[in-house]
A and B are shown apart, each in its own frame.
Chain A
Amino acid sequence: MTAPLLLPQATDIGNPTVNIAIFALFVVATLAIVIKASRNNRTAADFYAGGRSFTGPQNGVAIAGDYLSAASFLGIAGAIALNGYDGFLYSIGFLVAWLVALLLVAELLRNTGRFTMADVLSFRLKQRPVRMAAAISTLGVCFFYLLAQMAGAGGLVALLLGIDGRAGQSLVIAVVGIIMITYVLVGGMKGTTWVQIIKAVLLVLGAGLMTLWVLAKYTFNLSGLLGAAVDRSPAAGERLLNPGLQYGMTGITKLDFISLALALVLGTAGLPHVLMRFYTVPSAKEARRSVSWAIWIIGIFYLFTLVLGYGAAALVGPDVIRAAPGRANSAAPLLAFELGGELLLGVISAVAFATILAVVAGLTITASASFAHDVYGQVIKRGEVNADGEVRVARITAAVIGAVAIVGGIFANGQNIAFLVALAFAVAASANLPTILYSLFWRRFNTRGALWSIYGGLGSAIVLIAFSPVVSGKVDAKTGASLSMITDTGIDFHWFPLDNPGIVSIPLAFFLGWLGTVTSKEQTDVDKFAEMEVRSLTGAGAEKAVQH
């Protein structure tokens, strides 16, 4: 209905030449740094773990860079702009989740593993089956997360270049994929880490600038900003500030809210690409410092997103956001244009692109390390492979994963990305976290428990997503348009009522881990358990930094 009026704005917004120039500058600058940083890449520890030579603060900034994905920036700002307070849950859940990582996982993991999550999970259990399971769930989580990032790239480009056609957007998704593969192949973990550090600094500065700008428009009166957001959203009105606008309608949607909250808070400490970052520092103490730095940066950033979200509602308005080519995901770029014209839009869009690129690079290196180190090195070759061979396989895997991400991103284009990331969190919290916690803290835990928990958590999460309204059968009550991934409203095979599977799959995975353990006759390997427990708490025998 409003589309004809808004179409010209979609192409007018910003200057594509400026946007592309700023973005190209970022790519060239980071690529130069990646090449410089990777000169010393010799060993597998260099490629996978950046030589374990980053300091706590450096790694903390890189973790923030890895974690603050396009979902955090574009997705949350859009969710708050349109759904008000319910969008704020993402910020809170994504932040509080870090306490699980800080208190229970980061240091113990750093002390016991080498390169991947599977190193820790298989430490005292049967190597091959557990490693295989952990690698499969790592690849599964990375795939969901990648989808979200690539979908974000498509939406962003749609807005910036006014490309409404699927073909044009797909081409850009492919370009993003190819650039990110280049980073990983050339730079390994060291190069990837530097890209993340640069991006985190740019993102926080950019979001901080916009936050100050928005607040200044309301004379630093938060209440005034909220009031303006309400005035500009006649459909939602006051409800924009209250819980329940998106999730408050029925008992089912409330349950969905709880499910999302559970997945968010338990997902972070099970995200393989976050866990892998703990290996890039020389000791557990540095791992602790890096998480502490990350929590501060991430927390401050999420406070910014609250202002940006309500700022977009107040200054841009929900109707314009909904009608823009990238829909909710374009709230933050539209706000930048409203504030600082095409130059600020260009800068913020370049930052958003950089964000996607850096996160995708981090995911790719995690997935390729998991495949090369766990599946190829340990399961197929049973550890009888030299590090060079493993790294070569990792590089080939990175290229394959890049290709898969490009294809997947083309299909997921148009979904809300904060929401897609929440699905990745649900899979991580179901498949990984129970086994991580059990193997660190429960002496009796054994191989069957691990396998049941990982495969049960992964399988139930994915099956429930496949048969949820996310994939098919969700229809906008007012417009009759499809809100699912399969946009043909005639196809509807959903039977699971919730969007997020966490409330079922996470307890199920914990339960299966317990059930598998108590029904198995396998005895605890007391020697390996002693080694794991002593090493995890004291740091004895932990992997040291690589000296060059």
Chain B
Amino acid sequence: MSDTTRSAGDPELTTYRDVQVSPDFSELRRRFRRFVFPMTGLFLVWYFLYVLLAAYAPGFMSSRIGGNINVALLFGLGQFVSTFAITMIYVRWADRRFDAEADRMRQLIEGADR
């Protein structure tokens, strides 16, 4: 329970605050948020576009494209494609653009603890 019972005078806490206000950490946080927030907005808008069309534009969604395949089915399958794509893009981004910097800071902090 070391992480929950630490008292206020503990020097380690100042370390975390020092890290938090450091330019390197600000940059890391900014980089993280600039990726995940727009991405979250994007897939939510795309998802609710599909939901609202399904609820309020059934005529458009029901129009046939070929055989028994209609717009609604393509929209549904499109949600699968976008989910797979965002997953791949994020994992690639995190592996290449985020982990190295986060690891470097972690080692700095954990090294300073000891």
Contact = CB atoms under 8 A, between A and B. Distances in A.
Given A254-B56, A292-B91, A98 B83 contact: yes
A242 to B, nearest CB: 4
B102 A92 contact: no
A312 interface: no
Given A92-B76, A95-B80, A540 B55 contact: no
Nearest to B50: A92
Interface string B50-67: 111111101001100011
A247 B61 CA distance: 14
B80 A303 contact: yes
Interface residues of B, number: 59
A99 B70 contact: no
Given A96-B79, A223-B67, A540-B110, A103 B29 contact: no
B58 A248 contact: yes
A539 B39 contact: no
Interface string A86-97: 001101110110
A350 to B, nearest CB: 28
The residue among A243, A247, A295 with the most chain B CB atoms within 10 A of its own CB is: A243
Contacts of A123: 4
Interface stretch (A465-473, A509-517, A530-538): A530-538
* Residue with the greatest number of chain A CB neighbours at <10 A, chosen from B16, B44, B50, B70: B16
Contacts of A288: 91, 94
Contacts of B32: 537
A370 B103 CA distance: 31
A98 B80 CA distance: 11
A299 B83 contact: yes
A527 B105 contact: no
Given A92-B76, A258-B55, A540 B84 contact: no
A540 B114 CA distance: 13
Contact of B72 (A241, A291, A537): A241
Main secondary structure of the interface of B (DSSP, over half): helix
Interface string B12-47: 011011011000010011001000100110011001
B51 A257 contact: yes
A289 interface: yes
Nearest to A99: B43
Contacts of A99: 39-40, 43, 83, 86-87
Interface in A377-429: 383
B75 to A, nearest CB: 9
Nearest to A248: B58
B20 A103 contact: no
Given A85-B72, A103-B90, A265 B36 contact: no
A95 to B, nearest CB: 6
Contact of A534 (B36, B53, B103, B109): B109
Given A88-B76, A299-B84, A539-B106, A254 B70 contact: no
A541 B40 contact: no
Contacts of A221: 67
Interface residues of A, number: 59
A226 interface: yes
Contacts of B90: 102-103
A208 B68 CA distance: 23
Given A99-B86, A242-B62, A540 B109 contact: yes
B106 A540 contact: yes
Contacts of B83: 95-96, 98-99, 295, 299
Nearest to A542: B106
A103 B39 contact: yes
B36 A104 contact: yes
B28 A230 contact: no
A222 interface: yes
B17 A243 contact: no
Contacts of B99: 285
B70 to A, nearest CB: 6
A95 B61 contact: no
A95 B48 CA distance: 14
B40 A538 contact: no
A215 B61 CA distance: 24
A227 interface: yes
A527 B13 contact: yes
A100 interface: yes
Given A95-B80, A227-B67, A383-B4, A295 B87 contact: yes
A541 B80 contact: no
A247 B72 CA distance: 15
B52 A223 contact: no
Contacts of B44: 265
30 contacts: A85-B54, A92-B47, A95-B80, A98-B83, A99-B39, A100-B40, A102-B90, A123-B4, A223-B67, A226-B68, A226-B69, A241-B70, A244-B55, A257-B54, A257-B55, A265-B44, A265-B47, A289-B91, A291-B87, A292-B87, A296-B87, A303-B80, A306-B76, A530-B16, A531-B3, A537-B28, A538-B105, A541-B109, A541-B110, A541-B113
Among all A-B residue pairs, the 6 with the closest Cβ atoms:
A223-B67, A243-B54, A226-B68, A242-B62, A530-B20, A540-B109
Given A99-B83, A526-B17, 11 more contacts: A221-B67, A222-B69, A242-B70, A248-B58, A254-B56, A257-B54, A258-B55, A531-B16, A537-B29, A541-B109, A541-B113
